[in-house]
Amino acid sequence: MSEYILILLWVGIAGIVACTGCFDRVEEVNGRNVWRLNPVYAFLVLLPLAVWRIRGVYLGDTYTYINSYFGMPENFSGIPEYMSMVTKDRAFYLFGCLLRIFWKDNVGWYLATITFVQICLLTKVYRRYSDRYMISIFLFIASADYISWIFNGLRQFLAVTIVFACFNMILKKKYIPVIIILLLASQFHGSALIVAPFVFICQGKAWNKRTILFLAGVVFAVVFVGKFTDILDFMLTETQYTNVVSDWHDFNDDGTNMLRVLVYSVPAIISWFGRRQIQDQNNPIINLCTNMSIVAAGMYIVSAFTSGIFIGRLPIYFSLYSYILLPWEIDNLFSESVRRLIYCIMVGCYLVFYYYQMHVIYMVF
């Protein structure tokens, strides 16, 4: 049976076992005592992704990373010369050099180590802040994000998970540590700096004036897309992304698929209709997740009219919050009599989307 089906079965079985409550414990989260999964059990749910890397399941840009790995020095003395030729994302390549020295020619273990770090950081946030950890993990898997990022854009996703791990600091408005970590993450992938302004924009209640202003900017970008790309091209001058606009025109990049935009916008759309209830409850975690989800939806909309390859890679910094938000919305914005039905519809729709992603986009089954 395909690994891509087995991972869904694994998550499903793990979810059923988790429902027994055998692995639950009470923890204090943001001033509330809540039930949370045992950290070890929570981590084991995502561990198969790291095991796949050891077994040599490669997709997309993974081959580029493999070639890069074998070009790295095998001893400490070769690092200075190698790093002198690296012009961007230097922390990632330095990390790769250290792994090359440790793992030698075991490229599977190199990829697994990076995956291990990523899933540890994902587990840390989802286990602590999601009221339904297993649902959050299901959404991450069934959206095929693990394929798009852990098995493809692993360099950027390492930066993404480092930033995502700042959840508590963003929540507590510890801006200086957050900015320091953003600067560190940007040395793994420069795109991490895009998060900096949204650390401030997404503070406060859900659907506040700052998020509305952001959406107004999205409308401007879509209506005046030519002007927007000119502005973007100017802003990226003298950065490592200086040729982004010309590149996506050269690649005939016609933007992110609208089905993908719709799927990733659902949590934000639901939050609009339930904004009064969200604002009344005023849960800081859900406020932050809602605003981040709005940003993700807005960026995906912009990418649909510009570039899926370049702009479409940015929403991942924000869409991960939606997997905390969506199950909360179902539990809190719908009556108890229809929740089970809504969950069934959610699972069914995500399974269809997963099949579409795997069969049509990635063509792995």
The domain segmentation of the chain, as residue ranges, is 1-196, 202-332
pLDDT for residue 32: 87
pLDDT for residue 363: 80
pLDDT for residue 237: 53
pLDDT for residue 1: 55
pLDDT for residue 3: 85
Question: Mapped to the 3 state alphabet, what secondary structure does the chain carry?
Answer: CCHHHHHHHHHHHHHHHHCCCCCEEEEEECCEEEEEECHHHHHHHHHHHHHHHHHCCCCCCHHHHHHHHHCCCCCHHHHHHHHHCCCCCHHHHHHHHHHHHHHCCCHHHHHHHHHHHHHHHHHHHHHHHCCCHHHHHHHHHHCCHHHHHHCCCHHHHHHHHHHHCCHHHHHCCCHHHHHHHHHHHHCCCHHHHHHHHHHHHCCCCCCCHHHHHHHHHHHHHHHCHHHHHHHHHHHCCCCCCCCHHHHHHHCCCCCCCHHHHHHHHHHHHHHHHCHHHHHHHCCHHHHHHHHHHHHHHHHHHHHHHCCCCCHHHCCHHHHCCHHHHHHHHHHHHCCHHHHHHHHHHHHHHHHHHHHHHHHHHCCCC
pLDDT for residue 53: 86
Distance CA 122, CA 125 (A): 5
pTM more than 0.85? yes
Flag residues of the chain having pLDDT under 50: none
What angle is formed at CA 161 by the lines to CA 160 and CA 165, rounded to 5 degrees? 120
pLDDT for residue 232: 60
CA max distance for the chain: 66
- The identity of residue 177, as a single letter, is P
